[in-house]
Structure 1
Amino acid sequence: MVGGGDTQEGSKTDEVIRRLEDRKRLVTNSGPVDNHPSQATLDLIVTMAEDMSFVCQQCKQPLQLDPSLTELTPSAVDMVAASLGQQTPRNTPVSPSQKLASLAAPSSSKSAWQKAQTSSGSTKTSSSKHRPAGESFVLLQDSVVHKIPTDAGKPGGTLKTKQRASTPTRVPSTSRKAPPTTEKPPPAPAATSPAKPSAPPVAPPRSHHLAQTLKLYTLLSNRTDLDHPLCTDCTSVLISALTKQLEETKRERDGYIAFERDVRNNTGAGDIKEMEAHIGQLKVEEKSVLDELLDAEREKARLDRELEELEREEKELEEKEAEFWRLYNANVLAEASTAAALRGIRAAQEADAAELARLSRANVYNDAFCIGHDGVFGTINGLRLGRVTGVAVPWPEVNAAWGQALLLLHTIARKVGFVFEQYRLVPMGSCSRIEKIGGDKTVYELFGSGELHIGRLLHNRRFDYGMVAFLDCLRQIIEFAKTQESVEFPHAIVKDKIGDASIKWQFNQEETWTRALRFAKLPYAEVFNWEEISAAYRSDVDNVADGELEREWYVVAFRSRRKAGSDSTPLYDADRLAHEEAVQNGGLLMYWYGVPDPVTGDNLATCVWQSRAHAVAANSRPHHIKAMRLAAASFEYYTLERHVLKKWKGTDQLEVVPYTSGEVGW
């Protein structure tokens, strides 16, 4: 910062100096000019110089400069600058050589210190080269410095009255105000001769004096921590601070000199020998450490080679791992595909096994020869077998039914390898016949007609013999079946009678003949062949040992008597729909319609359910409700019998017991 730069009229001064410098350049470049400026120029310079005033750079109070400062010559300013010595920038660190030169120490000490610095400089590490210069000195504590005695004759008193002080960065702003003054223009020189005209007046050198003053303030500002000019009070404070700093520096210098003296006095030959021994020991240690360093470097090189080998092996392992995972993923995909194919095969196998089990349980004879009933008529494949009063079944239908019955008997005999005695079956549809073999070979027709002439009477007689022969063949195969298994048949066959009804048509009532063609009415426990049902059940659970299972089923028997003259068609239709409804909803194992007695009209129908809950659920379904309503209107009476069909553990036999209470089934 240039001293005096904060004057109140600094801009005017700069303008004056700039104009003067421009004039000087013009003179230099353009040659000689008129050395006598005009009066207007002189008046402007004088006016601007008179308006100039200075303020203190610390307290900012106006200053009145001493006349000796306003009239400085360039030689005086140069002399002051030379006395101040070489300019040192503010806050510039002092080098160790400069500090050493400023100390009042013997020259031998200075040369020894410089030699030590030179020799130690070659062994310094690169890190020590960047250390600040201040670290090359011994820093003494304040307690050591204060122990150094001072000269009593010096001004400033004892150490007890002196305190260390730092140079203030800012001085108090209070100062004695100088009264504002104005400079009068110098008087004009008197005329030397009134006869001769005098030369133009020379401008007062106020601008040159101003430039010299500013130069002086610049020198002072660059050599102190404060800008100039300063007022009297601020100058006194600055002088006091500099004096304290000087005293502190002197005491610090004396402390370093005394410390050096003590170090030299305390260092003897013994210490030197110890230091030399220590140096030798350090050299030995250095050699050992260098050897260790070499070993460490060799070990590092070996480890580097080993690391390279390990990295190479790691890379190979990574490649092998990538190949392994590629193969693993391929195998996983192949395994998943194989597992999916295996699951498909197993599912197909299970489906085929289920189909095989269903087909194994299926009876081809039941499908090829569907035996049922239609009202009072027994049917085979839908063909009614028999005639009753009021229902004239066509004879071709009856003959076709006999042909299907004979074909069924012939097929069963061939299946089991049975050969009938005295008879050979010839199934030929509606013209089937039975041939008697042995003594007299006779052919019996198994078809008839309603004609009553003499020729047809003989034919009807052969028809009766044919039906009797059919019963005889049926008896023979039943006897054969009894020898193979313990099977009981509900109807006894004796000659031409099945039960108590004769099978002959000629000279017999049609109702009796039709009745003989179907099952007679029996008590419920004797209606079905339970042994055969048990055998069928065992085939369904062939994975479980015989006798290990215990099961029970819920049975409902429906006994009724039809009203005379009632129409049976709507009831049969509703009964059929109820049966289909029960099969669709599940739980119904068997449903038998029954055949009403042609004379009394009594009938027995039955249902076998998996559980009582299934039977109760079927009661609320629409077709079952409709069938029950039609039954109430078509029958004179009907009763429901509830039974439990049980299979005991440890036996294969089935038993029918009356139902009492509780849930039944599984």
Structure 2
Amino acid sequence: MTTNAPKSPLPQFVCQVCGGFLQQDSSLDTIDEQMIKPIASSATICDESYNELQQGGSDGTIVIRKTLGRKRLSQSSLDSTNGFAFVAHDLNKDIEQKSMREYRIDINIHERLYDFLSEQYTFDHPLCQECTDTLLDKLDVDLQMATHELTSYKKLLEQLNLSANGQQENYEKLKQELIELDKEEERIKNELLKLEQENERLQNESEQLTKEEQSLEQEEIRYLRDYNEQKRLLFEAEDEQKSIDNQTKHARAQYEKLSKTNAFNAAFHIWHQEHFGTINGFRLGRLPSINVEWSEINAALGQAALLLNALAKRVDLQFAKYKIIPLGSHSYIEDLNESKNGKFVQLPLYTGRRRLTWDTPFDKALIAFLDCVNQFKLAIESKNQRFCLPYKMNEKQKGVITDSNGHQFHVIYQVSKQEEWTKALKYMLTNLKWGLTWITSQLPDDMTTSNAIPSPSSPTVTSPR
């Protein structure tokens, strides 16, 4: 096909690539309906395609409007010509010679031909000469590339065939390995089944153990509560035990302290204060310069009577002719050799006179008391001949006490000066202290207040002023 001006009475088509007008070859003029039928029967022709002939333009050109169901048959030419194909002016004469229907049939025949060609190839028809040459060059390049690819594929196929021949030798080995792998797979499946069963059993045991663990936790909580309660009771018992131990230690310390304390020494403290002998703080005696109250002297004599009576009981001594009755500040001595009105004569160890001019019973009581001290000395000497008192008392001379220098002092207040009488009473208390010391040294384990000191029935002795 050429792009020269058309002279044929057939309609003029455009190139589907460049859009130029085409002149059909004269061999296409003889194509009729009978020739196109075998082609049309094997090709898909759109029945909706039609041509509408219109006359337009100032020169009377016939315009063929194409409406196609297939885009690839005339899309490029229709886009280039806005959907119109121009037909030569000479076509008016042919149209006059042919009817419109016959002309339409001719156009449809050619269109079916181009549709068939377009379906057979990957490009649309019709094409001009230049576009055809360009297309052929492109096809040559595609052919070379396809030939090159075919050569490459052949080489690859040969390599695959060689590799297949080499792998054929290992086929039996691989087949044997596959059989062994199948057996191994079966064994592993069986082992997996056993493991699943074992896992299920372990899960059941785990659930059972979890329940037991929860039960044990509850029991542990209960035991902890009991333990804490018992521990609290233990702490309370330990605190109580510590308290008891402290009390016991204190009681033991007090006991040891008291066990080392002599009951006589604690109950009767004999000491001196300047010129006076004292017992439990009470002074015994009087001086011109120091006027001691008689109430204090009476109390001191009562304490001395109580001490002598307790010491006599300690050595199981029964005084001859006398009996000491300790009654505090009103203590007295009964004369067992004299009686009056059926009663023993009482010799008072106290006096109530402000000025003692002559008190015979009081003096007799002091003489009797000194005699009882002498009897106590003799009782101790009978037990221990090495025992002796610092101041001597003579049985023949009643009421007389002698110091280490041989000076004699009377306990009778009327016949002595106050200084001498005070010394006599001081020496008498000193002899009592020595006797007390010997008693405590001989009987240390039995010096208790309950059995060493008799309970006086008299009122408590008043303290001196």
- TM-score scaled by length of structure 1: 0.37
1:157-556 alignment runs, 5 A limit: 253=153, 256-268=156-168, 271-362=170-261, 365=264, 369-414=268-313, 417-429=316-328, 432-438=331-337, 443-447=346-350, 450-452=355-357, 456=358, 459-460=359-360, 462-481=361-380, 489-495=389-395, 496-500=399-403, 501-502=408-409, 503-519=411-427
**In 2, distance between residues paired with 1:476 and 1:310?**
97
**Cα deviations by residue, 1:476-524 (Å, 9 ceiling, x for unpaired):** 234445666886643333333333232233322322221121149x9xx
Q: Report the secondary structure of 1:518's partner residue.
A: helix
- 1:527 to partner: Cα distance: 9.4
Output the amino acid matched with 2:162.
Answer: D
Q: CA 1:252–1:320 in structure 2 vs 1: closer, same or farther (change >3 Å)?
A: farther
Aligned-residue offset at 1:286: 2.8
- Deviation of the 1:364 alpha carbon: 5.4
What residue in structure 2 maps to residue 59 of structure 1? none
For the residue of structure 2 that corresponds to 1:393, the secondary structure is coil
Deviation readout 1:126-166 (Å, 9 max, x if unpaired):
xxxxxxxxxxxxxxxxxxxxxxxxxxxxxxxxxxxxxxxxx
Residue by residue over 1:208-265, the C-alpha shift from the partner in whole angstroms, topping out at 9 and shown as x without a partner, is: 99xxxxxxxxxxxxxxxxxxxxxxxxxxxxxxxxxxx999988975664233121233
Q: 1:247 to 1:519 in 2, by over 3 A?
A: farther
Query: 1:343, CA displacement in angstroms?
Result: 0.9
Provide, for residues 172-228 of structure 1, a one-character-per-residue CA deviation record: whole Å limited to 9, x for no partner.
xxxxxxxxxxxxxxxxxxxx99xxxxxxxxxxxxxx99xxxxxxxxxxxxxxxxxxx
CA distance in 2: counterparts of 1:246 and 1:467, whole angstroms: 169
Q: Which amino acid aligns with 2:217?
A: E
- Alignment deviations for residues 423-465 of structure 1 (CA, whole Å, 9 cap, x no partner): 112345555432222478655443456554xxx3xx43x4333
Within 2, Cα distance between the matches of 1:410 and 1:248? 157
CA drift of 1:474 comes to 1.6
CA contact (8 A) 2:367 2:412 kept: yes
- How far apart, CA to CA, are the structure 1 residues paired with 2:440 and 2:309? 24
Q: After TM superposition, give the deviation of residue 530 of structure 1 in Å.
A: 7.8
Tell whether the 8 Å contact from 1:488 to 1:529 is kept in structure 2 after alignment.
no
Aligned to 2:35: none
Q: Kindly, what percent of the aligned residue pairs are identical?
A: 28
8 Å CA contact 2:391, 2:401 repeated in 1: yes
Shift of 1:272: 4.5
SS in 1 for 2:277: strand
Contact 1:434 1:443 in 2 (8 A): yes
Alpha-carbon distance between aligned partners in 2 of 1:258 and 1:400, rounded to the nearest angstrom: 153
C-alpha distance in 2 between matches for 1:250 and 1:518: 160
1:296 Cα deviation after fit:
2.3
Partners of 1:414 and 1:538 lie apart in 2 by 16
2:422 maps to a residue whose letter is T
Q: Deviations over 1:540-569 (max 9, x none)?
A: 9xxxxxxxxxxxxxxxxxxxxxxxxxxxxx
CA–CA distance in 2 between the matches of 1:300 and 1:539?
88
Contact kept in structure 1, 2:271 and 2:279, CA below 8 Å: yes
- Comparing both structures, which one devotes a greater share of its residues to helix? 2
Structure 2 residue identity aligned to 1:313: E
The DSSP-based 3-state class of the residue aligned with 1:325 is helix
Aligned partners of 1:533 and 1:74: how far apart in 2? 162
For 1:383 and 1:493, the matched residues in 2 are separated by 24
Structure 2 contact 268–303 (Cα < 8 Å) conserved? yes
In structure 1, stretches of 5+ residues that fail to align are 1-72, 79-191, 194-207, 210-244, 541-666
Q: CA deviation at 1:333?
A: 1.6
**Following superposition of structure 1 onto structure 2, how do residues 17-28 of structure 1 map, counting pairs within 5 Å?**
none
Q: In structure 2, what is the Cα distance between the partners aligned to 1:246 and 1:534?
A: 147
Distance 1:438 1:302, change over 3 A: same
Instruction: Work out the CA distance in 2 between the residues paired with 1:330 and 1:397.
Output: 66
- 2:166 is aligned with what amino acid? N
Change in CA separation of 1:341 and 1:483 when aligned onto 2, cut-off 3 Å:
farther
Q: Check conservation: 2:264, 2:440, Cα contact below 8 A.
A: no
Q: In structure 2, do the counterparts of structure 1 residues 466 and 535 end up closer, same or farther at CA, with 3 Å as the change threshold?
A: closer
For residues 282 and 473 of structure 1, the distance between their equivalents in structure 2, rounded to whole angstroms, comes to 133
Secondary structure of the structure 1 residue equivalent to 2:426: coil
SS at match of 1:506: coil
Give the whole-Å Cα distance in 2 for the aligned partners of 1:423 and 1:530. 24
Give the AA of the match of 1:518. Answer: K
For residue 317 of structure 2, give the secondary structure of its aligned residue in structure 1: coil
Is 1:489–1:529's contact at 8 Å kept on the other side of the alignment? no
Q: Which has the larger radius of gyration?
A: 2
**For residues 296 and 193 of structure 2, what CA distance do their matches in structure 1 show?**
123
Q: Quick one: distance in 1 between partners of 2:15 and 2:400?
A: 174
Assess if the C-alpha contact under 8 Å between 2:331 and 2:349 holds in 1. yes
Structure 2 Cα separation of the partners of residues 438 and 338 of structure 1? 68
Q: Is the Cα contact below 8 Å between 2:279 and 2:303 reproduced in 1?
A: yes
SS of match in other structure, 2:164: helix
Q: Distance in 2 between matches of 1:277 and 1:451?
A: 152
Which one scores higher on RCO, CA 8 angstroms, separation ≥ 6?
2
Instruction: Provide runs of 4+ in structure 1 moved above 6 Å.
Output: 245-252, 484-487, 526-540
Question: Could you say what secondary structure the match of 1:437 adopts?
Answer: strand
